A = this chain, B = another copy of it.
Amino acid sequence: MTKNQTTPSPERLGIAIVGLGGAVATTAVAGTELIRMGDQDTTGLPLAEFDHLDLVDYEQIYFRGWDLFEDDLYAAAANHRVLRADQLESIKPALTGMRPWKAISNRNYCEGVVCEEDSKGTHRELIQTIVDQIHEFAGEIGGRVVVINLASTEHAIDISDDIYQSVTAFERALDENNTGISPAMLYAYACIQEGIPYGNFTPSRAADIPALRKLAAEKNVPVAGKDGKTGQTYIKTVLAPALRARALKVRGWFSTNILGNRDGEALRKPGSLQNKIGTKGDVLANCLGYPVEDHVVKINYYRPRGDDKEAWDNIDVDGFLGQPMQIKVNFLCKDSILAAPLAIEIARCLDLAGRTGRGGVVEELGVFFKAPMTSDGREPNHNFTEQHIALMQWLEDDRQAAPATAGPQASQSVA
């Protein structure tokens, strides 16, 4: 704590991203640069209008991270075609200079993306490397760091395995280089162990396994996840509660998606699609208060769209006198454009939580996730508006509680 008070620039926040070369990550990096240069306003950043809050300024955010691909961020961003040509050019100098650290590679967990060969080293060695990299980054910027997982979805695991249930079992599995431990878990463990706030924007299993949830609580390290709520599920959790408020009975909800980015390609493999659909499944019943037997969710890889994503929902409802009506929603969105600002906000909130001593699962961040983590594993609330109110309430309360100057900031040990 005293350390932080003496760091030259206490306001800076470093976001270390797993999957730095991906479409969402490069969009987040590029957007932050554009804001810093004054070329871009804060449209799309949900907490921008709360600038009086004790959240770090967007201009004070810096990025580094890991990726399987070694491209510099300019090449990566150009490849994803999310940014407009003029936007890309104006930040070319900044992006060209950024190159990811080599990410942990494990072919058992890769889906759809190329993992040429597995990373060398024991679990413990890989964790130490992660920790070293984070500290190096913190030193460079002279500030705090949070880690956000934006890597491609990993292959599904059997979550009931004993090694995931307790800290002791998990750490023993680490020591034994158990193959049940995925790269995402290694990053999450490294962070929690080291006091670094960790957010999981992907459907992969990471800090949400019981062992790591417990460890985060014990260590009082803020964690949040999982699977960013960007497009169709966002709309779904907005509409479903409103249908309930009018007592319109949902008889069926058919959701289909077309998307053509690397994420979509990864989803072609059955294992990771299972993870993705799984995080969408329970949402509807939760918002409505009753199960909908005909809730169908389809995700389709369709290249002409690139990073643009399109969702088409058909909702069959019964109204008064049992008479049927239909609502159809067609959302022509841009996956990374929706996701990147959420990833940034999650990082800012986790940082705030860290500075104010709020550890464990930060449930108030549920509005950002398709499958919000809860501290005890119970079913989360998916109602978008209620989630939004909960977040606003936490931020308001925190503002009143917090000292005027950024005081008790770091629960993390930045060298």
Q: Which residues of A approach B to under 8 Å, CB–CB? A: 27, 30-31, 34, 40-46, 48-49, 82-87, 234-235, 238-239, 241-242, 245-249, 251-252, 254, 256, 258, 293-294, 296, 298, 300, 302-305, 310, 312, 314, 316, 318-334, 337-338, 340-341, 367, 384-385, 388
Contact of A327 with B332 at beta-carbon distance under 8 Å, contacts A385-B241, A385-B242 already known:
yes
Contact of A334 with B322 at beta-carbon distance under 8 Å, contacts A85-B86, A304-B252 already known:
no
Contact of A327 with B330 at beta-carbon distance under 8 Å, contacts A258-B314, A340-B320 already known:
yes
How many of these chains are in the complex? Answer: 4
**A384 contact set on B, CB distance < 8 A:** 242, 245
Q: Identify 16 new A-B residue pairs, CB closer than 8 A, beyond the known A31-B321, A46-B245, A293-B303.
A: A43-B318, A46-B246, A82-B323, A84-B323, A87-B321, A242-B385, A245-B388, A252-B303, A256-B312, A258-B314, A294-B302, A319-B341, A320-B341, A326-B330, A327-B331, A330-B330
Q: Please list 14 pairs of residues, one from A and one from B, whose beta carbons are closer than 8 Å in the complex, sorted by A's number.
A: A27-B320, A43-B247, A44-B248, A82-B323, A235-B327, A239-B239, A242-B384, A247-B341, A254-B258, A294-B303, A326-B331, A326-B332, A327-B330, A385-B385
Query: A59 to B322, alpha carbons, bound, how many Å?
Result: 18
**A338 contact set on B, CB distance < 8 A:** 246, 319-320, 325
Decide if A40 touches B322 in the complex (CB within 8 Å). yes
Query: A319 to B83, alpha carbons, bound, how many Å?
Result: 12
In the assembled complex, the CB of A247 is this many whole angstroms from the nearest CB of chain B, namely: 5
**A305 contact set on B, CB distance < 8 A:** 252, 316
Residue in A27, A246, A258 with the greatest tally of chain B CB atoms within 10 Å: A246
**A256 contact set on B, CB distance < 8 A:** 256, 298, 312
Q: Which chain B residue shows the least CB distance to A344? A: B320
In the assembled complex, the CB of A359 is this many whole angstroms from the nearest CB of chain B, namely: 26
Decide if B251 touches A321 in the complex (CB within 8 Å). no
Query: A304 to B318, alpha carbons, bound, how many Å?
Result: 10
Contact of A302 with B337 at beta-carbon distance under 8 Å, contacts A42-B247, A321-B44, A388-B245 already known:
no
Q: Which chain B residue shows the least CB distance to A238? A: B242
Decide if A323 touches B316 in the complex (CB within 8 Å). no
Query: A242 to B234, alpha carbons, bound, how many Å?
Result: 9
Which 8 pairs show the lowest CB-CB distances between chains A and B? A44-B320, A252-B304, A238-B242, A385-B385, A304-B316, A328-B330, A44-B319, A326-B332
Query: A33 to B78, alpha carbons, bound, how many Å?
Result: 27
**A333 contact set on B, CB distance < 8 A:** 319, 325, 327
Decide if B326 touches A254 in the complex (CB within 8 Å). no
In the assembled complex, the CB of A181 is this many whole angstroms from the nearest CB of chain B, namely: 34
In the assembled complex, the CB of A296 is this many whole angstroms from the nearest CB of chain B, namely: 6
**A341 contact set on B, CB distance < 8 A:** 247, 319-320
Decide if A334 touches B325 in the complex (CB within 8 Å). yes
Contact of A254 with B302 at beta-carbon distance under 8 Å, contacts A45-B247, A238-B242 already known:
yes
Q: Which chain B residue shows the least CB distance to A248? A: B44
Query: A360 to B286, alpha carbons, bound, how many Å?
Result: 37
Query: A403 to B342, alpha carbons, bound, how many Å?
Result: 48
Contact of A319 with B247 at beta-carbon distance under 8 Å, contacts A85-B86, A239-B238, A331-B327 already known:
no
**A388 contact set on B, CB distance < 8 A:** 242, 245
Contact of A83 with B258 at beta-carbon distance under 8 Å, contacts A304-B316, A329-B329 already known:
no
Query: A310 to B338, alpha carbons, bound, how many Å?
Result: 23
Decide if B245 touches A318 in the complex (CB within 8 Å). no
Q: A320 touches which one: B45, B294, B328 (CB < 8 A)?
A: B45
Q: A296 touches which one: B300, B319, B320 (CB < 8 A)?
A: B300
